[in-house]
A and B are shown apart, each in its own frame.
Chain A
Amino acid sequence: MEVKNLKVKSMHDVVFNDNEYLEKYVDELRQGGVNVAVGCLDDIINWGRSHSVWPLTFATACCGIEFMCVGAARADFARFGWEVTRNSPRQSDVVFVAGTIVNKMAPVLKRLYDQMAEPKYVIAVGGCAISGGPFKNSYNVVKGVNEVIPVDVFVPGCPPRPNAMLYGMMQMERKIKIEHYFGLPKKPAITPEEKVWAEKIAKEQEAYKAEKK
């Protein structure tokens, strides 16, 4: 089933438009009902936000090369207005987690995500970022970045082709389009996951301090 009033230019594919997750999300958002004026304003802002998503230049492994290909001449994500890659997390809107995240990198990724300004999005690119991929059995690899940060779009592949990454970006665009800007952030300031994280961090810090003494 298609979500109504949600079009991405030149994407008419049935498979593209059939997205159960978005349907559920829309239902959830519409439950409360929305003021007409606020709704219109939302649409305008979302139009702007969905067409100008600046990625952070973040890549750890193989997928990073394909991410470069997306930016280069043939795939050219500049067409969608995504080419303003920012090197500072403060100025970027989306982080493409392109590549394996290992234990040493996980806290760094978490910190990068925390440094980004709201509204921010995460696209997990490639098998490693989704679930650990081929390195699932390794002693040092995080089994999916959603253990560390919340993920909006998963792009499978090892590594995904540039086309796949563009496809994921378009899905991301649709997700941004149905959100209520004035309702953001929908999630509570501290999600239960984050609370667990915070406790864990505090515990580890204390343990480290105690050990130092």
Chain B
Amino acid sequence: MSLELSGLINAIHEGLTGAIEAQWLVSLIEYVLVGAGLLALYALIALFLIIFERKICAWFQCRLGPNRVGPWGIFQVFADMLKIMFKEIIPLKHNDKLLFYAGPCIVVIGSFLTFGGLQFAEGVHGVDLNIGVFYLLAVSSISIVGVMLAGWSSNNKYALIGAMRSGAQVISFELSACLSMMAVVILGGSMNLSTLMEKQEDLWFIFQAPVPMLIAMVIYLIAAHAETNRGPFDLPEAESELTAGYHVEYSGMTFGYFYVAEYCNLFINAAIGALVFLGGWQAFHIPGCDGFNAVMDMCPSYVWFFLKCLFFIFMSLWVRWSFPRLRIDQLLHLEWKIMLPFSLFNILLVAVWVIIF
């Protein structure tokens, strides 16, 4: 019996087509199911990451972390979720109501849209666009609009400074993230994620072209980390400077949206990194070693995928809890004067690499 999810999905599809005549109805039901599934996944991942971070952070800081609610405190996040859902949402005077409430929604929508383009396991994905990589990059940066709106409409000086910082930061680092993706696209020869997955079946990209891909991966990780607004790049919400930055005026569930989106963005960035550099859901294969490859294949593809994601997320948390924050000019210096030239050079390098090897 296979542990893969694609079998289950095919079975559902066949069952539905067998039971219902009208093709449009089948499609509709499937869309709804996929949507509901992704939504559930979105929430679960956010909840998991919150407790994961709190535990990891406690571990770094010689503490215990949440341990009273449920075994090892695993239900802590459910308590938080319940609490924040029933918390008052404070309406503000003298601000732009529409934009104020649109802000958190756009942030969540931006990160949720990305889930449609991700590949979670073999044959488990929302849409397989032929410009998948482009789509992921485009959609994941919608969130910044929400952040800017939130900061602008809060009628608060801290929020405004935070939003402006966030704008400068995300727009800058988006460049590096995209350019490092370009390197992958040149190597893979396609923007379609499925094609990229196929190309990585024998060997992950990071091993196919170690030098340029390693550079690309490091640049991508830094840029992606900066886009999530987490330390050492947490200037937009810089706790010790701007108290809470752009979401300083949000309470209750409106704040909860920012909170959830922050963690989902963490996952999304890790997932994109895993997909394009570490072979996504592909098992670790060494060309020629069939026995070893067979053993590796025993593990279902989604386990591979989530393990790789966890690896990246752990790296991200590690950085976050050990490094102090950058200053805004140092941040922009890092991007425009160091990372951007490097990624441009890397594109050249990968092109040469592709021609030679």
Does a CB–CB distance below 8 Å link A and B in the complex? Answer: yes
Contact A117/B76 with A73-B61, A83-B54, A91-B244 known, Cβ cut-off 8 Å: no
Would you call A201 an interface residue if the criterion is a C-beta within 8 Å of the partner chain's C-beta atoms?
Answer: no
Task: Provide the residues of chain A in CB contact with B54, threshold 8 Å.
Answer: 78, 83
Would you call A79 an interface residue if the criterion is a C-beta within 8 Å of the partner chain's C-beta atoms?
Answer: yes
Would you call A194 an interface residue if the criterion is a C-beta within 8 Å of the partner chain's C-beta atoms?
Answer: no
Task: Provide the residues of chain B in CB contact with A17, threshold 8 Å.
Answer: none
Would you call A66 an interface residue if the criterion is a C-beta within 8 Å of the partner chain's C-beta atoms?
Answer: no
Q: Report the minimum CB–CB distance from A72 to chain B (whole Å).
A: 8
Verify B73–A86 contact, CB threshold 8 A.
no
5-59 of chain B: CB within 8 A of chain A: 54, 58
Q: Report the minimum CB–CB distance from A51 to chain B (whole Å).
A: 4
Q: Report the minimum CB–CB distance from B63 to chain A (whole Å).
A: 5
Q: Mark B46-89, 1 if CB is under 8 A from A, else 0.
A: 00000000100010011111111100010010111111101111
Q: Which of A81, A115, A118 is packed against the most chain B CB atoms within 10 Å?
A: A81
Verify B255–A90 contact, CB threshold 8 A.
yes
Q: Which of A76, A84, A90 contacts B63 (CB 8 A)?
A: A76
Q: Which of B79, B86, B90 contacts A181 (CB 8 A)?
A: B86
Would you call B251 an interface residue if the criterion is a C-beta within 8 Å of the partner chain's C-beta atoms?
Answer: yes
83-138 of chain A: CB within 8 A of chain B: 83-84, 86-88, 90-91, 93, 115, 117-119
Q: Report the minimum CB–CB distance from B38 to chain A (whole Å).
A: 25
Task: Provide the residues of chain B in CB contact with A195, threshold 8 Å.
Answer: none
A72→B62 CA distance, assembly (Å):
9
Verify B86–A81 contact, CB threshold 8 A.
no
Contact A79/B65 with A45-B86, A86-B244, A88-B243 known, Cβ cut-off 8 Å: yes
Task: Provide the residues of chain B in CB contact with A50, threshold 8 Å.
Answer: 79
Verify B69–A51 contact, CB threshold 8 A.
yes
Task: Provide the residues of chain A in CB contact with B63, threshold 8 Å.
Answer: 72-73, 76, 78
Verify B67–A79 contact, CB threshold 8 A.
yes
A183→B26 CA distance, assembly (Å):
46
Verify A90–B249 contact, CB threshold 8 A.
yes
Would you call B239 an interface residue if the criterion is a C-beta within 8 Å of the partner chain's C-beta atoms?
Answer: yes
Would you call A49 an interface residue if the criterion is a C-beta within 8 Å of the partner chain's C-beta atoms?
Answer: yes
Would you call A44 an interface residue if the criterion is a C-beta within 8 Å of the partner chain's C-beta atoms?
Answer: yes
How many residue pairs link A and B with beta carbons under 8 A? The number is: 97
Verify B68–A79 contact, CB threshold 8 A.
yes
Q: Report the minimum CB–CB distance from A208 to chain B (whole Å).
A: 22
Would you call A39 an interface residue if the criterion is a C-beta within 8 Å of the partner chain's C-beta atoms?
Answer: no
Task: Provide the residues of chain A in CB contact with B64, threshold 8 Å.
Answer: 76, 78-79
Verify A117–B251 contact, CB threshold 8 A.
yes
Verify A49–B86 contact, CB threshold 8 A.
yes
Q: Report the minimum CB–CB distance from B269 to chain A (whole Å).
A: 22
Q: Which of B76, B89, B251 is packed against the most chain A CB atoms within 10 Å?
A: B251
Q: Which of A47, A81, A90 is packed against the most chain B CB atoms within 10 Å?
A: A90
Q: Report the minimum CB–CB distance from B250 to chain A (whole Å).
A: 6
Q: Mark A180-196, 1 if CB is under 8 A from B, else 0.
A: 01000000000000000
Verify B243–A80 contact, CB threshold 8 A.
no
Q: Report the minimum CB–CB distance from A49 to chain B (whole Å).
A: 5
Verify A52–B76 contact, CB threshold 8 A.
yes
Verify B243–A87 contact, CB threshold 8 A.
yes
A161→B153 CA distance, assembly (Å):
42
Would you call A9 an interface residue if the criterion is a C-beta within 8 Å of the partner chain's C-beta atoms?
Answer: yes
Q: Report the minimum CB–CB distance from A213 to chain B (whole Å).
A: 26
Closest to B158 in A: A88
50-81 of chain A: CB within 8 A of chain B: 50-53, 72-73, 76, 78-81
Would you call B252 an interface residue if the criterion is a C-beta within 8 Å of the partner chain's C-beta atoms?
Answer: yes
A48→B82 CA distance, assembly (Å):
5
A115→B93 CA distance, assembly (Å):
12
3-57 of chain A: CB within 8 A of chain B: 9-10, 44-45, 47-53
Give 7 A-B contacts (CB < 8 Å), ordered by A residue: A48-B80, A53-B83, A78-B63, A79-B67, A83-B66, A87-B243, A119-B88
Q: Footprint of A on B, CB under 8 Å?
A: 54, 58, 61-69, 73, 76, 78-84, 86-90, 239, 243-244, 247-252, 255
Can you add 10 more A-B contacts, CB < 8 Å, to A72-B63, A78-B64, A81-B73?
Answer: A48-B78, A49-B82, A52-B83, A78-B66, A79-B65, A87-B243, A90-B90, A91-B255, A117-B89, A118-B87
